[in-house]
Amino acid sequence: MNFTEKLQSDLKKAMLSKDADTVRTLRMLISKLREKKIALIKDLDEAEELAVLKKAAKERLDSIQTYTQAGRRDLAEIEQAELELIRTYLPAEMEDAAIEAIVKKIIAETGVTSPADKGRVMGPAMKAVAGKADGKRVQAVVTKLLGG
């Protein structure tokens, strides 16, 4: 069962239980998946669907930060609830220790020692953790290990 089918199934359950917040969030996700499908003019594969869900989660994180800075705790809480629901469909994030092990291996293979060469490590690192870790977390680990 792909993400779209799972979301539609969960939407039906949420509608039957009259959970308005869940219904709103699931409809938004299904809409985003349909928009991407139309834009690509083809059915989405699992990686493309996952990318859409990750983007929606990132948008919620950005909104939470913006609302919190603006003192709009009420809106931040709504976004937080949506984010929690979206995260239930995403695979678990990698632990920092696992990211660090991957980055150390790449640094050893490439022989990079300078923070100026961070890009030579980031590319392979992002490929290695694709879909399992956020780019900001990977960048933080690379920066820490290269001393930049």
Q: Which of 8-12, 38-42, 71-75, 118-122 has the lowest mean pLDDT?
A: 118-122
State mean pLDDT over 91-116: 86
Q: What is the pLDDT of residues 11-31, one digit of tens each?
A: 999 999 999 999 999 999 999
Domains by residue range for the chain, with CATH = 3-87 (1.10.1510.10), 96-146 (1.10.10.410)
Q: At 11, which amino acid appears?
A: L
Q: What is the pLDDT of residue 148?
A: 65
Task: Render pLDDT for 132-143 as a digit per residue (tens, 0 to 9).
Answer: 887 888 888 888
Give the Cα separation of 18 and 32 in Å (integer): 22
Backbone angles phi, psi at 29, to 5 degrees: -65, -45
- What is the pLDDT at residue 35? 96
Q: What is the pTM of this model?
A: 0.73
Distance of CA 18 to the CA centre of its chain: 28
Where on the phi/psi map is residue 35: left (φ > 0), alpha (ψ -120 to 50), or beta? alpha
* H helix or E strand, kind and range, residue 37: helix 20-40
Q: Is the four-CA dihedral 66, 68, 72, 78 of positive or negative sign?
A: positive
* Under 8 Å between Cβ of 100 and 140: no
Q: How confident is the model at residue 118 (pLDDT cuts 50, 70, 90)?
A: confident
Residue type, 25: T
Q: How many CB atoms lie within 10 A of CB 73?
A: 10
